[in-house]
Amino acid sequence: MNSFSDPEARPLSHAQPPPRFEGRGVACVRGERVVFTGLSFALGAGDALVLLGPNGSGKSSLLRVMAGLLSPAAGGLLRDGREVRDDPESHGAAARYVGHLDAVKPVLSVAENLTFWAILHGVDGAAAEAAVAGALERFGLSRLASVPGKLLSAGQKRRVNLARLLLSPSDLWLLDEPTTALDKASIRTVEAILAEHRARGGMVVVSTHADIALGGFATLQMDEYAP
Amino acid sequence: MMGSFLDIVRRDLRLALRQGADSLMVLAFFVVGVVLFPFGVGPELAVLERISAGVLWVMALLAALLSLDRLFQNDYEDGSLDLLALAPVPLPIIVLGKVAAHWLTTGLPLIAIAPLLAVLLNMNGDGFVMLVTAMALGTPTLSLIGAVGAALVLGARRGGVLLSLLVLPLYVPALVFGVSAVDAAVMGFETRAQIMVLGALLLASAALCPWAASAALRQAIE
């Protein structure tokens, strides 16, 4: 009767937005060994994916494949429906990868370390300074801004590494064990930042052993994809 | 893109200056190595004059080689290389920036001190200008070719020895024409051809080496 206001009348495509980042039948080979094969996933805006599995099940490898550091042995990644391998640079520009290594230069101060990455990602002079100050503040590192990297503890280095996420906007965060070496308060900060990122429509892929409260996430059991 | 290139140069220069000992050690190696020759071949001035250009070039080559291992090694070990490879800047531009910074901290000081050591080896004064010119064209070539070798041996154990085996043969053309240019100038011959060849080597390696090195880097971080 009143078909204009009937929610059932909406076309199906509106109800189910297409995934923004997708993997289809991804396989990874390290050395001579097949780590995982036939792995598929799909992430929409605001989604979080947690990678679970024992050591050596390929969590880190999958994150490196997602970042574009490793090329998949089979299958492909799609970004907004387009093949990532056709345009790896714009994928790299929109994704942020936080790995095991913190990439903190021992002879540069915390602020100098971060400023370099901000500028490299196209944030200019004064804006870069503001972005660095904001990121340091968020991770409780403001007091350490002028301290050289070699004097930082493992947890502080990890926070500097994570602070890089906040320097310039990006919609896909790939985090490899982000809470390693962090204390409880810092883990709460990471959780809050991840929630904000997802509220803005960002996507997160996390591999973790420790508990991290994400609130509504999909999981990927890596051992299901072992050959 | 030019901006990113300069950002990389600035960062690597800052890193090199804060770790100043590395650059100084390369320079000291060059000086000590050259000084050994008069002890080895004896103090006859005619002999020293004859070998001066060759000694300076060979030692510059070895000094450049000595400093190559740290070109990518630190970034590789601390994870920066992963992030550089993911940055929205073409990897060859990043390589070129790192090579430029490497040359500024090793090649340039070698050029500056070479005429002083030439005096020590009794080189004829006519050769000095040509020595500096030839080295100014030749040492960037050494850094560029060396970057490919340094990228290829990343992650290999005993990389330093492998690096010299890979890179030294490729240094031969620069060495031959560099020495020949200085010798020709000392003897009063035309040096145009040698300079042209050194320039061509520099242009060719500037065009090819950053791409080859970035392909090797992508292999290394896989």
A19 compared with A162, residue with greater pLDDT: A162
Quick check: A92 and B86 CB within 8 A? yes
pLDDT of A11 reads: 45
Contacts B19 to A, Cβ<8 Å: 107
Three-class SS state of A190: helix
pLDDT(A5) > 70: no
Q: Identify the closest residue of chain A to B78 by CA–CA distance.
A: A103
Query: What residue segments make up the domains of chain A, in order of their start?
Result: 46-69+86-225
Cβ–Cβ below 8 Å for B87 and A92: yes
C-beta atoms of A69 and B222 within 8 A: yes
- CB–CB contact B15 A121 (8 Å): no
Q: A196: pLDDT confidence band, cut at 50, 70 and 90?
A: very high
Chain A contact probe: residue of B82, B84, B214, B219 with most A CBs at under 10 A:
B82
Which strand (E) or helix (H) includes residue A119?
A: helix A110-120
Q: What is the mean pLDDT of residues A102-128?
A: 91
Nearest CA in chain A to B10: A116
Establish how many alpha carbons lie within 13 A of residue B178's alpha carbon, considering only the half-sphere containing its beta carbon: 30
- Give the tokens for residue B5: 């290139």
Q: What pLDDT band is residue A3 in, cutting at 50, 70 and 90?
A: very low
Confirm or reject contact between A171 and chain B (CB < 8 A): no
SS3 content of chain A, % helix, strand, coil (to 5): 40, 25, 35
CB-CB neighbors (< 8 A) of A89 in chain B: 88, 90
Note down the domain range covering B62: 2-221
| Continuous segment of H or E residues that includes residue A152 | none
Task: Find, among A217, A139, A144, A223, the residue nearest to A179 by Cα.
Answer: A139
Q: What pLDDT, on a 0 to 100 scale, did the predictor assign at position A111?
A: 93
**pLDDT at residue number A20:** 86
Residue A226: per-residue pLDDT: 84
Distance in angstroms (rounded) separating the CA atoms of residues B204 and B186? 28
**Chain A residues closer than 8 Å to B15 by CB:** 105, 107-108
Q: How confident is the model at residue A54 (pLDDT cuts 50, 70, 90)?
A: confident
| Contact between B144 and B99 (Cβ < 8 Å) | yes
Closest-CA residue to A202 (of A226, A177, A166, A176): A166
Instruction: Give CA–CA dist B166/B150, Å, rounded.
Output: 9
Residue A179 pLDDT greater than 90, yes or no? no
pLDDT at A7: 44
Element housing A225 (H / E): none
- Listed as ranges, residues in chain B with pLDDT below 50 are none
Nearest alpha carbon to residue B174 among B46, B61, B55, B11? B61
3-state secondary structure A83-133: EHHHCHHHHHHHEEEECCCCCCCCCCEHHHHHHHHHHHCCCCHHHHHHHHH
Q: What is the pLDDT of residue A12?
A: 44
Summarize the confidence of residues A160-184 as an average pLDDT: 91
Q: Which CATH number fits domain A46-69+86-225: 1.10.10.1800, 3.20.20.140, 3.40.50.300, 3.30.70.1350?
A: 3.40.50.300
Give me the percent of chain A exceeding a pLDDT of 90: 46
Angle of the A110-120 helix axis to the A154-163 helix axis, nearest 10 = 30
Residue ranges in chain B assigned as alpha helix (H): 2-18, 21-41, 45-68, 73-77, 80-86, 91-102, 108-120, 128-152, 159-186, 192-221
- Choose among A85, A86, A53: nearest CA to A66: A85
**pTM for the complete prediction?**
0.89
pLDDT at A153 over 60: yes
How many structural domains are present in chain B? 1
d(CA B38, CA A190) in angstroms, rounded, equals: 64
Predicted pLDDT at A180:
86
Which pLDDT does position A208 carry in this prediction?
82
Report the DSSP beta bridge partners of residue A173: A96, A204
CA proximity to A208, closest of A112, A132, A100, A76: A100
Determine the pLDDT at residue A16: 59
- Can you read off the two tokens belonging to residue B220? 């290394």
